């Protein structure tokens, strides 16, 4: 592990602390900003409402003023006279009177009687009638809604002309007609004044209550995005995402409403910049805290890292590694303990190595000794081989000669020999033959002990069937009942195991030759998984149990060769072969009641 690894405490602690600070401060800042934003928005709404109410008051006042002036002009006798008696003179007088309506904007002034006739129409200045429509008979006095005519916004103000009151006051005052004044809306300084009043970035709109034509006092605009019949403050978001707050108020005495709105961002800007400053200081806090924690952890992890490195070096076999002790706290004590431990480990390791060296030396000496013994054994074995070769060759030759010449003598001196002479010669030949057989058996026995085991998987079933067939060829006339049960496969030398079963089966046949029929059974004894136990059972003469230990000796026989022929080497071979396979062999019998021979072979491969 290296100190810059991602998993190192040196990084994980500062990063964890910084993450905690970021989460806490971030949450706090987020909540605080929301609160500030909400209260600022509310304050902005209140401000917008206040501004709207102010503007509505101003507009109501100015409208009342206009109506008042109109009423005063309409009350003049010349106007009434013109309505009652419309002649050129009265018209002229009324025109002069009506022209006193002061206004910098163009206007059309009309006089209507109750019969619905337009008595007088006056355009100030002349030509203004082209920009404004001709009116119709008004129904009631007051200020009218905003209307448009050929892209021109205009409003209408109507006042009644009272009938003259007779001197005696006999008739009630009634209206004798209307004065209608139509004025287009032109850019007026009132918009700028209002904007100045509500503040920077604010805009004012005036329009009809309940929808229709709306204006910013210079041109037609869209109505505010709120329900236009209800006064109050509203915050909304424009199509391009800007947040704005506005308020609506009705203008008394008119069918109009006024709307003042401004962008929230202007309002929230101070809160935003204060949030930015707070975030900047929070980042500073995080960095400082992280750095501080890093330094603190480093003070702990540096010695730990050195200890880890030393431990890893030790695990890698570098037992002489020590760490420097420079502190008195727990880490210092840990370093001291580590040094003590590594010293002991180094000591133990050295001791162990020394011991291993000694043992190895001892083993080498023993190996040399063993090799010497093995060489000796090889030499002895070679000597034995040479001996058995000379036995086979040199001992058999004189025997052959004895037998051969005795036979030749029996033939050539046949006439001069009497019966006793013939018997003696025959005995000589028989004895030589017997000795030849003994030599052959002895050589075969020594070969069984000498040859290397050639191991493979041997199917005992196939092997026993094969041996049984071979034996049956050499049998003449003997009735034998064979019972061959299933036999497993074992690991062993096929040709040597064949010798085992040739001996056991031919013995079984030989020693039960006096039975009719002879019965021979071969099978396995159920037992442990460690070994395979095969039995060969016959119903022959059997043997006396007290001589059982002699059965497997070389040239040991329990019967004379007159009873059953043989040299007594077969079972000795059997035992030698089975022992070389790491197995056991034993026999059970009762005299005259058959015999059973058992061969136990290890299931696994023995180490010999």
Based on the shown chain and the rule CB under 8 A, indicate whether residue 401 belongs to the binding site for other proteins: yes
SS3 state at 600: strand
Based on the shown chain and the rule CB under 8 A, indicate whether residue 433 belongs to the binding site for other proteins: yes
Based on the shown chain and the rule CB under 8 A, indicate whether residue 408 belongs to the binding site for other proteins: yes
Least spacing, CB of residue 408 vs other proteins, in Å? 6
Q: Which helix (H) or strand (E) holds 545?
A: none
Q: Which stretch binds other proteins (CB under 8 A): 188-196, 263-271, 398-406, 594-602?
A: 398-406
SS3 state at 162: strand
Polymer length in residues for the chain: 608
Based on the shown chain and the rule CB under 8 A, indicate whether residue 397 belongs to the binding site for other proteins: yes
Q: Which residue, 373 or 401, has its beta carbon nearer to other proteins?
A: 401
Q: Which stretch binds other proteins (CB under 8 A): 15-23, 273-281, 433-441, 468-476?
A: 433-441
On whether the CB atoms of residues 159 and 69 are closer than 8 A, the answer is no
Short-list 188, 181, 7, CA closest to 107: 181
List the one residue from 321, 396, 515, 584 that touches other proteins (CB under 8 A).
396
List the one residue from 121, 308, 388, 478 that touches other proteins (CB under 8 A).
388
Based on the shown chain and the rule CB under 8 A, indicate whether residue 414 belongs to the binding site for other proteins: no
Q: Which stretch binds other proteins (CB under 8 A): 60-68, 347-355, 359-367, 436-444?
A: 436-444
Least spacing, CB of residue 381 vs other proteins, in Å? 15
Whether the upstream peptide bond of residue 278 has omega within 30° of 0, thus cis, is no
Give backbone dihedrals phi and psi of 531, rounded to 5 degrees, phi first.
Answer: -145, 160
On whether the CB atoms of residues 540 and 570 are closer than 8 A, the answer is no
DSSP assignment of 58-121 equals: HHHHHHHHHHHHHHHHHTSHHHHHHHHS--HHHHHHHHHHHTT---SS-EEEEEEETTS-EEEE
List the one residue from 392, 459, 478, 556 that touches other proteins (CB under 8 A).
392
Least spacing, CB of residue 362 vs other proteins, in Å? 42
List the one residue from 184, 191, 436, 606 that touches other proteins (CB under 8 A).
436
List the one residue from 284, 404, 449, 488 that touches other proteins (CB under 8 A).
404
118-126 contact pairs (CB < 8 A, 24+): 119/82, 119/83, 119/86, 119/91, 119/177, 120/82, 120/86, 120/91, 120/94, 120/95, 122/95, 122/98, 124/99
Based on the shown chain and the rule CB under 8 A, indicate whether residue 46 belongs to the binding site for other proteins: no
Based on the shown chain and the rule CB under 8 A, indicate whether residue 389 belongs to the binding site for other proteins: yes
On whether the CB atoms of residues 537 and 594 are closer than 8 A, the answer is yes
Among positions 246-305, residues that touch other proteins (CB under 8 A) are none
On whether the CB atoms of residues 184 and 154 are closer than 8 A, the answer is yes
Q: Which stretch binds other proteins (CB under 8 A): 376-384, 428-436, 490-498, 560-568?
A: 428-436
Q: Which residue, 196 or 450, has its beta carbon nearer to other proteins?
A: 450
Based on the shown chain and the rule CB under 8 A, indicate whether residue 177 belongs to the binding site for other proteins: no
Among positions 60-89, residues that touch other proteins (CB under 8 A) are none
CB crowding 87-106: b at 16 or more within 10 Å, else e: eeebbebbbebbeebeeeeb
Least spacing, CB of residue 462 vs other proteins, in Å? 25
Question: Mask of contacts with other proteins, 439-478, x by CB under 8 A?
Answer: xx--xx--x-------------------------------
Beta-carbon count within 10 A of 131 CB: 17
Counting residues that bind other proteins (by CB under 8 A) gives 27
Based on the shown chain and the rule CB under 8 A, indicate whether residue 498 belongs to the binding site for other proteins: no
Alpha carbon separation from 311 to 12, 304, 307, 325, 340 (Å, rounded)? 22, 10, 6, 15, 13
**For residue 341, what are the contacts with CB-CB under 8 A and spacing of at least 6?**
none
Contact set with other proteins (CB under 8 A): 388-389, 392-393, 396-397, 399-401, 403-408, 411, 429, 432-433, 435-437, 439-440, 443-444, 447
């Amino acid at each position: 592990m290296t100190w810059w690894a991602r998993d190192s405490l040196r990084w994980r602690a500062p990063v964890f602390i910084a993450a905690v600070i970021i989460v806490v401060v971030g949450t706090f800042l987020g909540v605080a900003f929301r609160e500030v934003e909400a209260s600022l928005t509310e304050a902005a709404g209140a401000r917008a409402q206040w501004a709207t109410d102010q503007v509505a008051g101003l507009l109501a006042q100015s409208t009342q003023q206009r109506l008042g002036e109109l009423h005063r002009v309409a009350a003049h006798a010349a106007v009434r006279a013109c309505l009652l008696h419309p002649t050129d003179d009265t018209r002229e007088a009324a025109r002069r009177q009506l022209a006193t309506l002061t206004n910098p904007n163009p206007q059309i002034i009309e006089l209507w009687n109750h019969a619905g006739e337009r008595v007088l129409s006056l355009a100030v200045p002349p030509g203004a009638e082209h920009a404004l429509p001709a009116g119709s008979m008004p129904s009631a006095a007051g200020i009218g809604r905003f209307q448009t005519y050929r892209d021109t916004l205009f409003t209408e103000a109507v006042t009644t002309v009272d009938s003259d009151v007779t001197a005696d006051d006999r008739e009630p005052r009634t209206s004798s007609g209307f004065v209608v004044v139509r004025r287009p809306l032109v850019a007026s300084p009132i918009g700028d004044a209002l904007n100045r009043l509500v503040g920077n970035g604010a805009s004012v709109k005036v329009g009809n209550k309940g929808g229709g034509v709306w204006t910013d006092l210079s041109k037609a605009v869209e109505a505010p995005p709120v329900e236009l019949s209800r006064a109050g403050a509203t915050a909304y978001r424009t199509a391009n995402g800007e947040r704005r707050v506005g308020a609506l108020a009705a203008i008394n005495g008119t069918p109009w409403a006024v709307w003042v709105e401004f962008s929230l961002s202007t309002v929230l800007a101070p809160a935003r910049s204060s949030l930015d400053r707070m975030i900047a200081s929070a980042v500073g806090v995080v960095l400082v805290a992280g750095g501080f924690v890093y330094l603190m952890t480093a003070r702990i992890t540096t010695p730990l890292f050195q200890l880890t490195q030393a431990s890893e070096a030790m695990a890698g076999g570098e037992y002489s590694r020590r760490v420097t002790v420079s502190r008195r706290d727990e880490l210092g004590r840990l370093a001291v303990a580590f040094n003590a431990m590594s010293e002991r480990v180094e000591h133990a390791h050295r001791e162990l190595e020394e011991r291993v060296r000694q043992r190895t030396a001892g083993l080498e000496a023993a190996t040399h000794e063993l090799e010497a013994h093995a060489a000796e054994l090889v030499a002895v074995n070679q000597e034995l081989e040479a001996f058995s070769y000379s036995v086979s060759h040199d001992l058999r030759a004189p025997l052959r000669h004895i037998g051969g010449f005795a036979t030749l003598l029996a033939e050539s001196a046949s006439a001069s020999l009497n019966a006793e002479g013939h018997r003696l010669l025959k005995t000589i030949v028989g004895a030589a033959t017997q000795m030849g057989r003994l030599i052959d058996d002895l050589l075969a026995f020594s070969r069984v002990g000498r040859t290397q085991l050639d191991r493979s998987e041997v199917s005992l079933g196939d092997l026993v069937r094969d041996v049984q067939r071979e034996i049956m060829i050499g049998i003449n006339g003997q009735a034998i009942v064979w019972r061959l049960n299933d036999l497993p496969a074992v690991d062993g030398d096929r040709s040597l195991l064949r010798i085992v079963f040739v001996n056991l089966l031919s013995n079984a046949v030989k020693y039960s030759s006096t039975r009719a029929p002879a019965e021979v059974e071969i099978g396995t004894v159920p037992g442990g998984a460690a070994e395979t136990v095969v039995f060969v059972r016959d119903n022959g003469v059997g043997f006396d149990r007290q001589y059982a230990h002699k059965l497997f000796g070389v040239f040991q026989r329990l019967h004379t060769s007159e009873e059953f022929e043989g040299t007594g080497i077969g079972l000795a071979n059997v035992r030698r072969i089975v022992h070389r396979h790491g197995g056991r062999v034993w026999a059970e019998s009762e005299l005259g009641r058959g015999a059973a021979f058992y061969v136990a072979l290890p299931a696994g491969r023995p180490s010999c």
